[in-house]
Amino acid sequence: MYSTFMSATPKIRIDLNSSVPAYRQIVDALRVLFVEGRIRPGDSLPSVRRVALDLGVHFNTVGEAYRQLAQEGWIDLQQGKSAVVRDRGLPPPAPVEQVKQFRARLRAFVAEARASGIAPAKIVEELKSLVQELLP
């Protein structure tokens, strides 16, 4: 029988000094891997204790992140088994209100970057790079 394994334990990094809570950083980091296809349906995630050890947080913190991801439809959780990535079809199209909110938050984000001294040229570079990845 083939063993279920993860395509190399995904390495994520969080900043314990950040003002954004650890469990949300974990959710964000894993969601990036899902969206970008670096972890795929059928793969399983490392255990909450393993991740907790790697990141330096309590395993319940990771558990909360996993539950959040389950609620978003990214993974299936079942007690005793490891968390497995699930095939989450296309999400329903977002309402316009949410698009507006996205625009506002994006602006705030870029403004913060500019304010912190990141050169506009650098920012443009990053934005363009993302555009490239999204187009094809």
Which residues of this chain interact with DNA, rule CB under 7 A? 1, 3, 19, 21-24, 45-50, 57-61, 63-64, 66-67, 70, 77-83
Residues 6+ apart with CB under 8 A from 87: 41
List the single partner that 76 binds among DNA, a second copy, none, CB under 5 to 8 Å by kind: none
Q: Which is nearer to DNA, 21 or 120 (CB)?
A: 21
Write down the H helix ranges in 2-119. Answer: 22-35, 48-55, 59-71, 96-115
Cα 76 to chain centroid, rounded:
16
Q: Which is nearer to a second copy, 12 or 77 (CB)?
A: 12
Residues 6+ apart with CB under 8 A from 27: 65, 68, 69
- Residues in contact with a second copy by CB under 8 A are 13, 15, 19, 24, 28-29, 31-32, 34-36, 72, 90-94, 98-99, 101-120, 122-124, 126-128, 130-131, 134-135
Query: Nearest distance from residue 50's CB to DNA, in Å?
Result: 5
List the single partner that 53 binds among DNA, a second copy, none, CB under 5 to 8 Å by kind: none
List the single partner that 46 binds among a second copy, DNA, none, CB under 5 to 8 Å by kind: DNA
83 and 76 Cβ atoms separated by less than 8 Å: yes
- The amino acid present at 31, given as its one-letter code, is R
Beta bridge partners of 84: 44, 76
**Alpha-carbon gap, residue 57 to 66, rounded angstroms:** 14
List the single partner that 109 binds among a second copy, DNA, none, CB under 5 to 8 Å by kind: a second copy
Q: Which is nearer to a second copy, 80 or 93 (CB)?
A: 93
